[in-house]
Structure 1
């Protein structure tokens, strides 16, 4: 199989998978294009939103559980994007008990619901106005696998057909192929 064919096959497979990406059914609907930073600065009470991000803390009480979240932009599946772009913080509260050992800090969630004003809490010594959402859906995303890249030095490097010495990094073929990816799941 030629290297060009492998690359084109991989690109076609990625395009097909991207075309199949859909928003999970509980998160579907029409929502206002309002970020938590916008809601913090203006009155958006009652506006239906779909926000997501990384859990900062989960605080259950007698009647409900509140999730303090570092907001992130959402991708085409409504999953928080893993990058350094924060959309501010928000708090989402929902009736019932949600276990803080399941909804741990750092886990990704997406919520839908209506904005219900703001509530002020300390972040360090700073008084931060969290936009508050009365959540209808709390969607906890599965943990992402940990990906470790190991270099692959081209055909022949540990390849029984080509032999162990042909096409390694010193022969110039090493840069033509993507690295081998080893996936380890969190426990």
Structure 2
């Protein structure tokens, strides 16, 4: 029979392992693809990178449902070590995600962060405004939609300013709980 400290230690270790394995991020997104080419490399040499595994992410620009597939247009951003796109970083370019079936555009709103792990299918030429742009297309993808950050509202002041005990000549130390004699 193990001693109590050992069983407590093993219970703690199991709990830590269980919590670590319980994250909602798919393993294909969490783990960096070994030789994932950059977006610019795929745009320059699409034949060389066709079929290669990638892990890219960024901000959703728009979602388009076609007859058999859903197409998500993305603004690529650099990923952190966990696979989450950095919303404050500059753009790396644009790419398309092609997914079989229907995805509701309401569930994938514009400006939400999304990471994809899949393979490069092809490069399509489409206009961005009047400029012709080469979009790498990622197919057979594992997607992870990152949760929206919680917007913190500032805590309101307990009393409206100027406080009733504020005296501009004596400073802000004139409140009911401050007495200079003590």
With normalisation by structure 1, the TM-score equals 0.65
Indicate conservation of the 8 Å contact 1:58/1:66, yes or no: yes
**C-alpha distance in 2, partners of 1:39/1:150?**
48
Give the CA deviation at 1:147. Answer: 3.4
**Does the 8 Å contact 1:23/1:78 carry over to 2?**
no
Partner Cα distance (2:93, 2:156) in 1: 37
2:141 to 136, 141, 146: 136
1:40 equivalent in structure 2: 43
1:34–1:145 CA distance, 2 compared to 1 (3 A): same
2:64 counterpart (24, 45, 59): 59
* Cα offset, 1:23, TM superposition: 8.6
Is 1:103 matched up with 2:137?
no
Alignment partner of 1:145 is 2:147: no
Paired positions, count:
140
Question: Which structure: larger Rg?
Answer: 2
Q: In the aligned structure 2, how far is the partner of 1:64 from the partner of 1:147? A: 37
Q: What 5-or-longer segments of structure 1 have no aligned partner?
A: 1-19, 159-163, 172-187
Alpha-carbon separation, structure 2, partners of 1:151 and 1:41 = 53
1:143 positional shift = 1.1
Deviations 1:23-69 (A, max 9, x none): 92342445123221221112311110011000001011121101100
Superposed CA deviations along residues 128-175 of structure 1, whole A, max 9, x for unmatched, are 1101111321211111112356799xxxx99xxxxx99xxx978xxxx
Please state how far the C-alpha of 1:86 moved relative to its aligned partner: 1.1
CA distance in 2, matches of 1:58, 1:75: 24
Aligned to 2:120: 115
Query: What runs of 5+ residues in structure 2 fail to find an aligned partner?
Result: 1-19, 160-164, 174-182
Specify the SS of the correspondent of 1:146: coil
**In the alignment, what sits opposite 2:180?**
none
Helix, strand or coil at the partner of 1:38: helix
Q: CA RMSD, aligned part only?
A: 2.9
Work out the CA distance in 2 between the residues paired with 1:35 and 1:23: 26
